[in-house]
Amino acid sequence: MRTYDGHRTVTPGALRAPVVAIGNFDGVHRGHRALLDAARARAAELGGEVVVLTFEPHPTTVLAPHLAPPMLTTRARKLELLAAAGVDAVVVEPFTHAFAARPAAAFVDDLLVGALGARHVVVGWDFTYGQGRGGTTSTLEAHGARAGFGVTIVDKVTVDDGVASSTRVRGLLRGGDLDAAARVLGRRYDLDGVVVQGAQRGRTIGVPTANVAPDVELVVAPGIYACTLQPLDVPGAAPLPAVASLGTNPTFVERGRLVLEVHVLDWDGDLYGQRVRVAFVARLRDEARYDSVDALIAQIHRDIADARAALASPAAG
């Protein structure tokens, strides 16, 4: 999959009969996949390529920073998921105040037609564009009829009687409902990060943990989780069964910062400095404070047993 940093880096003729799917694609959830499926079907009919037009940073980060949501995926993870969905090229458009002020007609003429040469455009039912969000799906269809490209508007995708959206996924993760979040995403929620030096308390009590500094802001509710940990620096490395604590270590620290610590089951290796991917499979319990280290150790071993059972369940797949 080819990646372009903005429409100005796309050379004339670089995209073959492009079918352009537009959106933020944070999380690449099932609603996004419906757009990509529609684009792929149209590209097959036209003998063209599936091209995603997305934006960095998220528009809300620029237009209303106080309302900006935490991202479900980094740029790198988003691109990885888009490639897995069969996208041929991605144009990552820098979103600035100047870009937001571009009139809707100019967005279509200069970017979609002039730079990308769109043969067909695929958007969601609630898509808006241009200055003041003045462009709508109706104006896009009318403009496409004049400019010579077709438009497909994909209706909302519902999962469990709710719309599949990044906002909904964030809410489900904050509420600890991993199964519902996975149904909307179409996969288990995961995050990437680097293993950094921690307090090393786990090693002193016989349960060594990897302290993961995540690439994205944590949106998962604090608690204890069954999960997997996949080393990303080792080509072909499989996800390893694990149990994770996302919390503040209240047994040891008063008002500590939120940390993600992962204990890999039946494994003893050095992960310091490595990039890893943690996939959250099941929420086991809330974090709790214990009166003694022995009580904490006993609970950790119960958590490990519960994690084994959760990871062995058919629902964990």
Contact 261, 202 (CB under 8 A): yes
Least confident of 24-28, 65-69, 93-97, 167-171: 65-69
Please give the CATH architecture assigned to the domain spanning 190-316: Beta Barrel (2.40)
Largest Cα separation within the chain, whole Å, is 74
Classify 154 as helix, strand or coil: strand
Measured distance between the N- and C-terminal CA atoms of the chain, rounded to whole angstroms: 27
Q: Taking Cα atoms as reference points, which of 103, 100, 144 lies closest to residue 122?
A: 144
Q: Say which CATH class 2-162 falls into.
A: alpha beta
The beta-carbon contacts of 268-274 under 8 Å, at least 24 apart in sequence, are: 268/208, 271/195, 271/210, 271/231, 272/195, 272/196, 272/197, 273/194, 273/195, 273/196, 274/194, 274/195, 274/231, 274/232, 274/233, 274/234
What are residue 249's DSSP bridge partners? Answer: none
Q: Are 311 and 228 in contact (CB under 8 A)?
A: yes
Identify residue 8 by its one-letter amino acid code: R
Helix, strand, coil % in the chain, rounded to nearest 5 = 35, 25, 40
Distance of CA 243 to the CA centre of its chain: 21
Structure tokens at 187: 């996969």
Strand, helix or coil for residue 286: coil
Residue limits of CATH 2.40.30.30 in the chain: 190-316
CATH 3.40.50.620 residue ranges of the chain are: 2-162
Per-residue pLDDT, 313: 82
Which of 71-85, 122-136, 199-213 shows the lowest per-residue confidence on average (mean pLDDT)? 199-213
Residue 247: pLDDT band with limits 50, 70, 90? confident
Return the pLDDT at 226.
98
Three-class secondary structure of residue 123 per DSSP = strand
pLDDT of 200 reads: 62
**In this predicted structure, what is the pLDDT of residue 293?**
79
Q: Work out the pLDDT band at 314, boundaries 50, 70, 90.
A: confident
Question: 208: which 2 tokens?
Answer: 């060594």
Q: What are the start-end ranges of the H helices in the chain? A: 30-46, 59-63, 75-84, 97-100, 104-106, 137-147, 166-174, 178-185, 201-204, 293-312
The pLDDT value given to residue 121? 98
Model confidence band, residue 248 (pLDDT cutoffs 50, 70, 90):
confident
- pTM of the shown model: 0.93
